[in-house]
């Protein structure tokens, strides 16, 4: 118990940005909890985790790290280097252990629509090129946000943050923070980007306090109350 209300550090995943947390941030503030939405670089697991750790480590006081989707592995790495991290919250997330990547963590589960909807593109990386992915625009609503209005998904589809292929394939190289910190998990049961059964299995492995919500992968926008409630439960437990 810290005796001080933590700041919530929100980490988005692939194809999204910090604005995906807007409704959750509003709900947390209504309950007197400060939040910070980090811009996840989406370039590589260790790189992104170190960046998030640097941001969270400069927050005055304790923090609760929240990761959506690929942001889950990122906070799993980041919290090992964030001494003021007190809890972890995973939202429609991958759950990785030492030596696992986001992709390898779901290999044993039936494929999802995302797998056939990715568009590879090249980007400059030092002296050469590397590959990054977005979701095919016509498939974006179904894959990512089937429970959001067309007016929202149309904009989201053309403002995607691409993720480097190596980020999804890079194994976790540190002991996962969930082995030493309490965790909470929100399973999106209508998710077409990460198999809901893989989310359930991850939550069991992590020993997380878990809720299930009938929502798409864009659960923080479509069901922000349920997401905020799970975050607030984590905050209350470590305050």
Instruction: Show the domain range for 60.
Output: 7-109+169-238
In a domain, 65, yes or no: yes
Calculate helix-pair angle for 45-57, 71-78, nearest 10 degrees: 60
- pLDDT at position 30 is 97
The residues pairing with 68 across neighbouring beta strands, listed in sequence order, are 91
- pLDDT at position 180 is 97
Whichever domain contains 93, its CATH number is 3.40.50.1820
In a domain, 101, yes or no: yes
Q: Would the pLDDT of 69 be above 60?
A: yes
Instruction: Render pLDDT for 90-149 as a digit per residue (tens, 0 to 9).
Output: 999 999 999 999 999 999 999 999 999 999 999 998 888 999 999 999 999 999 999 999
Number of domains comprising the chain: 1
92 alpha carbon, distance to own chain's centre: 7
In a domain, 31, yes or no: yes
In a domain, 155, yes or no: no
In a domain, 190, yes or no: yes
In a domain, 151, yes or no: no
Instruction: Render pLDDT for 151-174 as a digit per residue (tens, 0 to 9).
Output: 999 999 999 999 999 999 999 999
- Nearest CA to 58 out of 42, 76, 38, 72 is that of 38
């Amino acid at each position: 118990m810290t005796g001080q209300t933590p700041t919530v550090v929100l980490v988005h995943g692939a194809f999204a940005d910090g604005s995906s947390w807007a409704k959750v941030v509003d709900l947390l503030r209504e309950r007197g909890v400060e939040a910070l939405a980090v811009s996840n670089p989406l370039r590589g697991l260790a790189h992104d985790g170190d960046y998030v750790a640097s941001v969270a480590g400069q927050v005055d006081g304790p923090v609760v790290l929240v990761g959506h989707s690929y942001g889950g592995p990122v906070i799993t790495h980041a919290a090992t280097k964030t001494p003021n991290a007190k809890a972890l919250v995973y939202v429609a997330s991958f759950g990785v252990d030492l030596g696992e990547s986001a992709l390898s963590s779901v290999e044993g589960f039936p494929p999802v629509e995302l797998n056939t909807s990715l568009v590879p593109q090249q980007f400059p990386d030092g002296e050469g090129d590397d590959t990054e992915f977005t979701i095919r625009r016509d498939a974006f609503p179904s894959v990512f946000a089937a429970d959001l209005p067309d007016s929202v998904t149309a904009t989201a589809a053309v403002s995607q943050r691409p993720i480097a292929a190596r980020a999804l394939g890079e194994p976790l190289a540190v002991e996962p923070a969930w082995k030493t910190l309490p965790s909470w998990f929100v399973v999106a049961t209508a998710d077409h980007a990460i198999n809901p059964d893989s989310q359930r299995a991850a939550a069991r492995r992590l020993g997380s306090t878990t809720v299930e919500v009938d929502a798409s992968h864009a659960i923080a926008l479509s069901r922000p109350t349920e997401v905020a409630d799970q975050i607030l439960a984590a905050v209350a437990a470590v305050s």
